Amino acid sequence: MKKVVIALSGGVDSSVSAYLLKKSGYEVIGLFMKNWHDESVTISNECPWLDDSNDAMIVAQKLKIPFQSIDLSKEYDDRIVKYMFKEYKNGKTPNPDILCNREIKFDIFMKIALDLGADFIATGHYSRIDEERIKGNTIYKLISAIDKSKDQSYFLCQLNQDQLSKVIFPIGDLKKNQVRRIAKDIGLVNANKKDSQGLCFVGKVKLPDFLKKKLKPKEGSIIEIDSSSKIYKKENFSSANIQDKLRNCAKRIKYKIDDGNKIGNHNGAFYFTIGQRKGLRVGGHDEPLFVLQTDVINNIIYVGMGKNHPGLLANTLLIKTNDEHWIREDLKLSIDDSMSVMARIRYRQPLQEATLHKFKSSLYLSFDNPQSSITKGQFAAWYIDDELIGSGVIS
């Protein structure tokens, strides 16, 4: 009998996953990860770890599977929290859920599970794994979930072949309503529990309060850039070199104070991200204001009015070679090659038609249509049909 250690979070998805694994004949062990100790920045009654741990234990008792809780808060702090502070301080916007999967669940947690004698680990992610023999090698494929509204393949975009070979996603072929129905049918305590939100295994967090732990408030100016500003007039770029064209398209305007007008103050540029509309506390406009750019060196936020402001839109993004990751190494582009893909730059964004262009020190992702709020530090992920084949950090 194959042994599976499941990351039992206390939520309905991992609980039903554990049930389905046991029903399929696996020996199942439930493991709850505690990754956070500081409740001062979490919103009360939103995913408190103690309630989740209790729910996970009750589910394990109901399913008659062994249960254990492990404290990975030090590893989470070292690998996720410190990285987040560094990125925000440098004016970037990290994705902690992708990092948590890469660094914690499918690295540290996986090693602990394998040390317990597990053949596989499992999680409650809405995603699927397929495998195929290609040129004598077994290739593992990360496939989108059946339930497109819940698909979480994007959060798994940094996994590799070795990790995928040891992972089971039991609910990837189910829709959310089916998962809840199973939970109700077998009498799970969390059948109607709300989905968790916020930071991976931390809960819903007041992000400014979280960041204030290390990044102290500092008053600065909010500068509004008019959508008709001359800085948005496109210059004729006549180079026939595709790399030069892509480099030019991927360049972002570096705003200066005299490009616009001061309309207010903020309490720290590193608390804001591109595309953000909440928290600016500036009124008197016909349409909402959106953050176009943050200057953390000079502590300035540049904003524009309306979701179609030209400062929000771009067709092309750059990924440095060191930040490029291929789940499908066999499909990795060679220098000067290109590939048509479907891509997204954030969770739940509908897949967009795009082209990858590979050069010696960089990879460009060029979209057929303009994208809003392309943000440094976030991840772009690219697909062929339903398969996620690679990803990279936006530069």
- Distance between CA atoms of residues 375 and 148, nearest Å: 24
- Residue 47 designated active-site: no
* Residues paired with residue 124 on neighbouring β-strands, in sequence order: none
**pLDDT above 80 for 237:** no
| Statement: residue 37 has pLDDT above 90 | no
Respond yes or no: is residue 100 known to be catalytic.
yes
Whether domain 3-210 has CATH 3.40.50.10800: no
- Its pTM stands at 0.93
Please count the CA atoms within 13 angstroms of the CA of 352 that sit on its side-chain side.
22
Q: From the candidates 47, 157, 200, 249, which is the catalytic residue?
A: 200
Helices 49-63 and 12-23 cross at an angle (nearest 10°) of 20
| pLDDT confidence band for 114 (50 / 70 / 90) | very high
pLDDT at 342 over 50: yes
Residue for token digits 């772009």? 380
Nearest to 375 by CA among 306, 305, 319, 297: 319
* pLDDT bucket at 6, cuts 50 / 70 / 90: very high
Rounded mean pLDDT of 328-341?
Answer: 98
What is the model's pLDDT at position 35?
A: 83
Which of 80-84, 232-236, 347-351 has the least mean pLDDT? 232-236
The domains of the chain are located at: 3-210
pLDDT tops 90 at residue 44: no
